[in-house]
Chain A
Amino acid sequence: MKSIYRFFSSSTLALLLLLIFAVAMATATFMENDYGTDTAWIKIYDALWFELVMVGLALCFLANTFKYNLWRKEKWAVLLFHLSFIIIIIGAGITRYDSYGGIMRIREGQSSSTIISDKNYLQVHISNGNKTIHLQKKKEFSPLNDNNFTIKADLEDVPIEISLKEFVADALPEIVDNSENGMPLLQMVVTSGNGRETLFLNKGEVEVIGPEKHKVGFEAQEEGIINITEKNGEFKVWAPHQLDFFIMADQKAGVIQGDSLQPMSLRTLYRHGDLSFVPLSYHENASIELISTSEKPKDNDPTKDDAVVLNVKVGDKTEELMILYRKGFLPTTHETSVGDMNFSISYGAMPIEIPFEVKLNEFQLERYPGSESPSSYASEVMIIDGDTKMPFRIYMNNVLDYGGFRFYQASYDTDEKGTLLAVNHDVLGTATTYIGYFLMMIGMFFTLFGKRTRFTAISKSLKKIKQRAPLLLLALFSSLASFAQAPMQKDSIPSVTELIINEVVHKQHSNLFGRILVQDVDGRIKPINTLSSEFLRKIYGKTTFKYKTEEGKVIALDADQVFLAMHVSHGAWQKIPVIKIEAIKGGDFFKPLKITDDGYISFDHLINPDGDYVLAKMAEDAHAKKPAEQNEFDKEVIKVDERFNILFNIFSGNYLTIFPNSLDESDNGLAITITLTTFRKKTVNL
């Protein structure tokens, strides 16, 4: 006990642990950048040694409080904030081991009480006919990790071993025909519940699909399941119930009878309930090889399947099993038999049931008028907990808190008919951590402003020195306060200069224009003057538009002048570089764009010769990401996209709502919009 205390009260150890902690985190941030978030978590944030460093730190805190005798009245503040670090570390520990979370997918009109875990599990059921065992292991794979693992078990004295043969990131299964150890193989696409998946069935194999556990087999022994058979290239299917079919080639639909052997054709969609499958192709003698489509380890794409190949060993017989999985989707169960044992194995997320239901009444996605870019999205949900029914609107920054679960808007289905909520359950961890934060703040406050801490002791010893102030300090700091100026503007195209010269609206005129009252998008009435300033700041980033001509003359236009001119002649303003854009953030993608040296681009230069908006795809992708996953590039794209769309709407006159429409019930309803064509004749010659 004594030696343990001696060990942890060593100041050197404390400093060393702090240093290790800092270096580890720094490494992790770079690792995340180079090899992806998962790798950084597996290697560092989630690693046992990293936890041990934190536990060590907590012990050091504790031991040092005794060594330096901080348990004295006058030291209470210092003691308090050091102890609160222990509380914060405990809170972090609770969060790590007690909290759980994942995502919830809900389609419009449906409800769900299932969270799809964000941790992955390998689940194995083994049975030899009279006994069954169940194994479960939490396991993550990453391109950079030593992924190897082995699970050992035995069932009635027969040793069983499951180990990793191979992990393939972003795997694409490829069929290799006429291969050495080939087998007859049926490739099909199945959908059920939440996902769509490509399956490869060997002769004799059965797959379990979706939450309803539909079983589909290819020449399987099992009775009562959907079973496909092949003879001389002809296919037959037996199903326990009738199946709807739809032939893709000639768009013919129909029904085939259940409980009897019926002819079946490839490239035809068969459906029963929420299960549908399309047998795609048949290969007489083929094997499957996994090809990784990611070029660099970092590129482990969360929207592509990863694959693990397992060795399943019973006694001295080994079989391979290939499992494809994807984060955020419930996995399918694969059945196979080795020796005389039957296995059903799945790898991937696990369903977590919560004690109430969430119903999605409506998913709402707004787009900028006249554009494809989403401007916001929200889920109108209803909590159904016994007799309690509670409606709630979840959108970014508006988290739903219910029964210890927090739901926040993460993403949505591409058809915009379903929402994806991230769910987290961590009441205890969050509360503990918050208490820690709070005590820490109190401790720190009183260390600074209280009496008798080292802080005040230093201040006292300073007073004792009683010497003159090093005045040079002051000189240094007064120079610190000066600011660097914005870079000069240069490099202008003559035609743009001419355009702008023609756009100079007389100040008196624009001032009058600025006084007109309009209704803004929130429904508030304000003078155009306020509105135009907001718009110029938003689009241009400054309150005055400035342009430097080749002769070095600066043309300056205030917000009202710009706003009026934009409405009068959008043709010209489409060519004037007025949209702020930070070239450096766009990297290679922004390079071909015509961005001026001072960081602006014209509306027209964001439209390619085919008339397409060049950021359309990027903006859609960026918006679909969770805010936490958006990088600088995405954020810049979102910003430029917003500026572009707002400018477009100015050109369309959508913001000049001068006469509120009392017939429109929604309070920000579009009123009659003035298009300034009538103004035009009068203002052109200014």
Chain B
Amino acid sequence: MNLNFWLFQTFFTIGLIMLVLALSKIFVQKRFINSLWNILVIISLISFLIFTGNILLRWYIAQHPPWSNGYEMMVFVAWVLMLCGLMTFRKSDFSLPLATLFTGSLLLVSYLDWLNPEITNLMPVLKSSFWLKVHVATIVSSYAPLALSAVLGFMALILMIIKTKSSAEIIDIRIKELTYINEISMTIGLFVLTVGTFLGGVWANESWGRYWAWDPKETWALISIIIYAIVLHLRLVPALNSRFTMNFASVLAFGSIIMTSFGVNYYLTGLHSYAAGDPIPIPKFIYVITAIVIIVGVIAFFRVRKAKKKVLK
């Protein structure tokens, strides 16, 4: 088995947990969290050493530096990134989680690449473009914080529903916290997604001389950017500046990510069997999830309104 595959899983998991911890650390100074954080820093350091060892070993065996082909290049960039993350982890609690996540995504991309090696040296080498890989890895990394903010938003909605008169005070604080973290996480995700999408432009320019061609996949990434930008700016419109709107919107917005990452391949890049007027096959679970989100959203909306009315009385 490919060691990088395990490293990818490890890095991705560590990165995700650390991101959650980094967010919690902002407002909780519990010993438990700090020790968990320290343990994770150590685990990521150990994984990094294993990773380094693996690269050195490959170098020794292959007798050439580990950046002579696309795959090795990718792994090497992942390594450098992890190194930067470890060097700056004291500066900001977010640098190590993000670097770890990103390293994980790069390793995933390189693993997928490894599964499909270039055997004929003459294949049209579209897939092995360096920029393509950086672009894909960046975009994939943005999915984690955006997914996180969707989950946080959903939890905030649930809290709004289960809020009772007696628990109102504590729960309101929780909701406030969740909303703040949600916003931070969404900002991180949006930035990474934006950078990733525009790196796609660099790739397109390198591959076919044009940086933006309204290709469906790229366009949907841009749509996701705009949608998340809308959600983040809702607070600028007084009528929409509420925790409910913000949280509900953050859940709905994740739909654009699902469309970008899965939907486009199946509906828009021309799978012939579906095109041309056939009903679009939508997997059942999408209906189920959509229904749950909408029901929860509507209930939360009425609960919040009722609570407000009471206050006014």
Asked if chains A and B come from one complex, the reply is yes
Q: Which of A631-686 contact B (CB under 8 A)?
A: 631-633, 639, 642, 645-646, 668
Known: A33-B216, A469-B28, A478-B17. A408 touches B120 (CB 8 A): no
- The reply to whether B222 and A588 form a contact with Cβ atoms under 8 Å apart is no
Q: Is the CB of A34 within 8 A of B275?
A: yes
Interface string of B115-149 (1 = CB under 8 A from A): 11101111111101100000000000000000100
The answer to whether A462 and B27 touch across the interface, beta carbons within 8 angstroms, is yes
Nearest-CB residue, chain B, relative to A37: B214
How long is the Cα–Cα vector from A433 to B272 in the complex, in angstroms? 35
- CB–CB A470/B268 < 8 A: no
A15–B235 alpha-carbon span in the complex (Å): 11
| Segment at the interface with A among B43-51, B74-82, B171-179, B291-299 | B171-179
Give the shortest distance, in Å, between A3 (CB) and chain B (any CB): 20
Distance, CA A447 to CA B191, complexed state (A): 10
| B177 in contact with A470 (CB, 8 Å) | yes
Main secondary structure of the interface of A (DSSP, over half): helix
Q: A437-B198, A468-B30 are in contact. Are A538 and B119 (CB under 8 A)?
A: yes
Does residue A485 face the partner (Cβ distance < 8 Å to B)?
A: no
Question: CB distance A463 to B27 under 8 Å?
Answer: yes
Asked whether A45 and B272 contact (CB < 8 A) given A396-B207, A477-B16, A521-B119, the answer is: no
Q: Are B125 and A397 in contact (CB under 8 A)?
A: yes
* B201-A473 in contact (CB<8A): no
In the docked arrangement, what's the CA distance between A296 and B276, Å?
8
Whether B202 contacts A627 by the Cβ 8 Å rule is no
Give Cα A639–Cα B119 distance, bound, in whole angstroms: 12
From the candidates A22, A455, A645, name the one contacting B184 in the complex (CB within 8 A): A455
Q: Which of A454-512 contact B (CB under 8 A)?
A: 455, 458-459, 461-470, 472-474, 476-478, 480-481, 483
Contact of B214 among A40, A461, A627, A632 (CB under 8 A): A40
Asked whether A430 is an interface residue with its Cβ less than 8 Å from the other chain, the reply is yes
User: Which B residues lie within 8 Å of A30 (CB)?
Assistant: 267-268
Is A174 located at the chain interface by the 8 A CB criterion? no
Q: Chain A residues with Cβ under 8 A from B181's Cβ?
A: 462
Q: Do the beta carbons of B116 and A537 come within 8 Å of each other?
A: yes
Task: Knowing A15-B237, A469-B24 are in contact, say whether A375-B122 is a contact too (CB < 8 A).
Answer: yes
A85 to B174, CA, bound (A): 35
Residues on B with C-beta less than 8 A from A437 are 198, 201-202
Say yes or no for B208: interface residue by CB 8 A criterion: yes
Contact partner of B177 (CB less than 8 A), chosen from A395, A426, A465, A483, is: A465
Provide the residues of chain A in CB contact with B209, threshold 8 Å.
101, 399, 406-408, 422-424
Interface CB pairs A-B, < 8 A, 23: A12-B237, A92-B212, A95-B212, A396-B207, A397-B129, A406-B209, A433-B201, A433-B212, A437-B202, A440-B198, A441-B195, A448-B191, A467-B174, A470-B24, A473-B20, A474-B20, A480-B16, A480-B147, A481-B13, A541-B116, A585-B271, A627-B124, A632-B270
Interface of B (DSSP majority class): helix
Chain B hits for A668, CB < 8 A:
121
- Tell me whether A481 and B27 are in contact (CB under 8 A): no
A201–B122 alpha-carbon span in the complex (Å) = 48
Chain A nearest CB from B154 CB (Å) reads 10
A449 contacts the other chain (CB 8 A): yes
- Give chain A nearest CB distance to B184 CB in angstroms: 6
Contact B122 A376 (CB under 8 A): yes
B contact residues around A424 at 8 Å (CB): 209-210
Question: What's the minimum C-beta distance from A381 to chain B, rounded to whole angstroms?
Answer: 15
Whether A470 pairs with B121 at a CB distance below 8 angstroms is no
| Contacts A397-B126, A585-B271 known; 13 new A-B pairs at CB < 8 A | A11-B233, A32-B268, A408-B209, A433-B201, A434-B202, A448-B188, A469-B28, A470-B177, A534-B117, A537-B116, A587-B272, A587-B273, A626-B208
Q: How far is the CB of A416 from chain B (nearest CB, A)?
A: 15
Chain B residue at smallest Cβ distance from A11: B236
Of the 9-residue stretches B160-168, B223-231, B304-312, which lies at the interface with chain A? Answer: B223-231
Whether A396 touches B124, Cβ cut-off 8 Å, given contacts A40-B214, A632-B265, is yes
**Nearest Cβ on chain B to A164's Cβ, whole angstroms:** 26
Residues of chain A with a CB closer than 8 A to B229's CB: 18
What is the bound-complex CA distance between A470 and B158, given in angstroms? Answer: 13
Q: How far is the CB of A484 from chain B (nearest CB, A)?
A: 12
Write out the residue numbers on chain B whose beta carbons fall within 8 Å of the beta carbon of A455: 184, 187
Collect the chain A residues with CB atoms within 8 Å of residue B206's CB.
397, 399
Judging by beta carbons under 8 Å apart, are A45 and B214 in contact? yes
Q: How many angstroms between the C-alpha atoms of A392 and B277 in the bound complex? A: 46
Contacts A368-B120, A396-B126, A538-B119: A14 and B233 contacting too (C-beta < 8 A)? yes
Q: A430-B211, A474-B20, A478-B17 are known contacts. Are A537 and B117 too (CB-CB below 8 A)?
A: yes
Contact residue among A92, A408, A521, A632 (Cβ-Cβ distance under 8 Å from B121): A521
Q: Find chain A residues with CB under 8 A from B116 CB.
A: 537-538, 541, 639
Mark contacts of A565-586 with chain B using CB atoms, 8 A cut-off: 1 yes-contact digit, 0 otherwise: 0000000000000000000111
What separation, in Å, do the CA atoms of A543 and B191 have in the docked complex? 37
Contact B208 A408 (CB under 8 A): yes
Total number of A residues with any Cβ neighbor in B under 8 Å: 101
A178 to chain B, nearest CB (A): 38
Shortest CB distance A428–B (Å): 13
Known contacts A408-B209, A461-B180, A521-B120: A29-B219 contact under CB 8 Å: yes
CB-defined interface of B190-204 with A at 8 Å, one 1/0 digit per residue? 010011001001100
Q: How far is the CA of A12 from the CA of B110 in the complex (A)?
A: 43
- By beta carbon, the residue of chain B nearest A424 is B209
Residues A18-55 near B (CB distance < 8 A): 18-19, 21-22, 25-26, 28-30, 32-34, 40-41, 45
A28 & B214 in contact (Cβ 8 Å cutoff):
yes
Q: Does A535 contact B (CB under 8 A)?
A: yes
Contact B208 A422 (CB under 8 A): yes
Q: Are A21 and B28 in contact (CB under 8 A)?
A: no
- Tell me the bound Cα distance from A399 to B210 in angstroms: 11
Of the residues B92, B195, B230, B265, contact of A22 by C-beta under 8 Å: B230
Asked if residues A466 and B27 are in contact (CB atoms below 8 Å), the reply is yes
For B244, list chain A residues within 8 Å (CB): none
In the complex, A366 has a CB within 8 A of chain B: yes
Q: Is B274 close to A, CB under 8 A?
A: yes
Say yes or no for A107: interface residue by CB 8 A criterion: no
Are A15 and B184 CB-contacts (below 8 A) given A444-B194, A470-B174, A470-B177? no
Q: Which partner residue on chain A sits nearest B190 by CB separation?
A: A444
In the complex with contacts A15-B234, A441-B195, A459-B26, A467-B267 CB distance below 8 A: no
Q: Across the A-B interface, give the 6 residue pairs with the lowest CB-CB distance, nearest first.
A: A587-B273, A631-B270, A406-B209, A469-B24, A376-B122, A11-B236
CB distance from A223 to the nearest CB of B (A): 47
Which residues of A have CB within 8 Å of B129?
397
Question: Are A628 and B215 touching (Cβ within 8 A)?
Answer: yes
Contact yes or no, B120 A467, CB < 8 A: no
Task: Decide yes or no whether A71 CB sits under 8 A from chain B.
Answer: no
Set A449, A632, A646: member contacting B119, Cβ < 8 A: A646
Whether B28 contacts A467 by the Cβ 8 Å rule is yes
The residue of chain B having its C-beta at the shortest distance from the C-beta of A423 within the complex is B209
Query: Which residue of B has the minimal Cβ distance to A635?
Result: B269
